[in-house]
Amino acid sequence: MPFNLLPKTTSTKPDHMQIDLQHVVKLARIELSVEEEQRIGSQLSEIIQYVEKLNELDVDKIEPTAHAMQLTNVLREDKPQPSLSQDDAMRNAPKYANGLFVVPKIVE
């Protein structure tokens, strides 16, 4: 029998959230005891209540953001610079041939 989670509020909104716990359990491919179902059902109900409370906020004038704080790129500018010579790079290679690194074959 499905365990429907309805928030404890008496909201009459048509977009009222509910979760079928058995469906979630099936999707997650887990098994729950009756006690776990009751405990998790209660916890999910509280989470849904909180989300519904957040949905009541007027956020029309708030610009969407990906992060709470402004992030800036802290990487250095990408400028060409001198690099190792081929001889220097090959000097530390465990195995090389014809100026190339030799690595184990991983694809048959």
Q: pLDDT-derived band of residue 5, with 50, 70 and 90 as boundaries?
A: very low
Residue 32 is given by DSSP the state -
Q: What is the pLDDT of residue 16?
A: 57
Summarize the confidence of residues 16-36 as an average pLDDT: 87
d(CA 76, CA 79): 9
Beta bridge pairs of residue 20: 4
Q: pLDDT-derived band of residue 2, with 50, 70 and 90 as boundaries?
A: very low
Choose between 37 and 14: higher pLDDT.
37
Choose between 56 and 66: higher pLDDT.
56
**pLDDT over threshold 60, residue 88:** yes
